[in-house]
Amino acid sequence: MINILKHEEIYDTIFTEMIPSAKKYIWIATADIKDLYVKQGRGMIPFLDVLSDKIKSGVLVRLIHAKEPGPQFRKDFDRHPELIHSLERMLCPRNHMKLIIVDGKKAFMGSANLTGAGMGMKSKNTRNFETGLYTDDKEQVKEISDIYDNLWMGSHCKSCRRKSYCAESLEN
């Protein structure tokens, strides 16, 4: 099954269905990443808190992003030793994919970056107009996972010519 998601449906699909259901792994690819806040109860918490909790529960989390996030992201990131030591990150300046894959069973592929405006957490008048596809079809999830995995494994690095921009700096 493929569901076409409008901008207002992206948040619920990713943050109330996909991410909470992760038992083994979460793979995320985004061009831009900011200090995204998500709903919890009546309040809001940094998405990094959610990822930290997932890592604590044994879920592997991989993140591919195209540029270094801002200072508020760094501040929240530094509050979580498990993110510093266990979040698998790759900086790839050519990455423009927006993918989220959970346990090889569910996948989102769309236009939304992992930011408040992209994920619909800004007001209706200030968020981005986004769209995406959600699938739990085994073959389609595998195809999307293969795209992610090829990038993660460096299949494009040899011909990229931008390797000098790929240094990790969150751990420095």
> What percent of the chain has pLDDT above 70?
92
E strand segments, the chain: 2-6, 25-30, 37-40, 43-46, 60-65, 88-91, 99-102, 106-110, 131-135
pLDDT score recorded for residue 4 = 92
pLDDT score recorded for residue 169 = 40
Average pLDDT over residues 134-140: 97
- pLDDT tens-digit profile of 147-164? 999 999 887 777 776 666
What residues contact 36, with CB distance under 8 A and at least 6 apart? 46, 47, 114, 115, 116, 119, 121
* Position 165 confidence tier, pLDDT thresholds 50, 70, 90: low
From the options 3.30.70.270, 3.50.50.60, 3.30.870.10, 3.40.50.720, give the CATH code of 2-156: 3.30.870.10
pLDDT score recorded for residue 35 = 87
Separation between Cα atoms, residue 69 and residue 84, nearest integer Å: 14
| Domain coordinates in residue numbering, the chain | 2-156
Average pLDDT of the chain to the nearest whole number: 89
Separation between Cα atoms, residue 92 and residue 144, nearest integer Å: 18
What residues contact 172, with CB distance under 8 A and at least 6 apart? none
- pLDDT tens-digit profile of 23-71? 999 999 999 998 899 999 999 999 999 999 999 999 999 999 998 888 8
pLDDT score recorded for residue 27 = 98
pTM of the model: 0.91
Helix axis angle, 47-56 to 71-78, nearest 10°: 30
Per residue in 51-84, is it b (16+ CB within 10 Å) or e — as a string? bbebbeeebebbbbbbeebeeebeebbeebeebe
Average pLDDT over residues 85-95: 92
